[in-house]
Amino acid sequence: MNRVVHPIEVESYRRLRARLDTSHFPPLTRAVVERVIHSAADLEYATDLVMDEGDLERAHTALHAGAPVVVDVEMVGAGITRRETVCRLRDAEAGPGLTRSARAIRLAYEQVGPGALWVIGNAPTALEELLTLDADPALVIGLPVGFVGATESKAALRESGLPAVSNVSEKGGSAVAAAALNALLYHPVPAEEKP
């Protein structure tokens, strides 16, 4: 992907790196950490985020091979640039034992099946529902925000063993979830992987 980086972004990254040394992170982890920090202007994400480089490598390959990207809310989708996303929230209705967000996750899974990248930045119940499905995801970016259910849903994600990007605090949200996916989207594809 040819992407023109605006001078403001270049300067923002220069200032970020002047305040925080990220050079010890592996390449994709560094890309995710820096883009999330850049999106939130919050250096604490450097120690709050949890991910595995091998998981990111496999997700990066799947993403650039065309795996679907599913988001829990349209705001997350709006933040993901240069890639179509699936969001079924408008089609979903709450029902007995299921929030509207959880129902939307079920609808999205029925549409895309296994192997998708799931980006959840808003609703802990969306993440909780995803964990009940046999979704076989390429990656789950689970960064819902909030004081009720957010930390618990992210802990459950980490305990699930699924390939994931999460964080341990209540912090998160649409912008940081989209940023984590964009980091993988913008990261160059090695020459041997290019189609």
pLDDT tens for 12-40 read 888 899 999 999 999 999 999 999 999 99
Round to whole Å and give the CA distance between 171 and 56: 21
Which secondary-structure segment (H or E) carries 142?
strand 139-142
Question: Which residue, 194, 189, 195, is CA-closest to 57?
Answer: 189
pLDDT of 192 over the 80 cut: no
pLDDT of 81 over the 90 cut: no
pLDDT of 72: 96
Mean pLDDT for all residues in the chain: 93
Round to whole Å and give the CA distance between 89 and 104: 5
pLDDT of 7 over the 90 cut: no
pLDDT tens for 156-190 read 999 999 999 999 999 999 999 999 999 999 998 87
pLDDT of 1: 55
Residues involved in catalysis: 38
Task: Please tell me the pTM assigned to this model.
Answer: 0.92
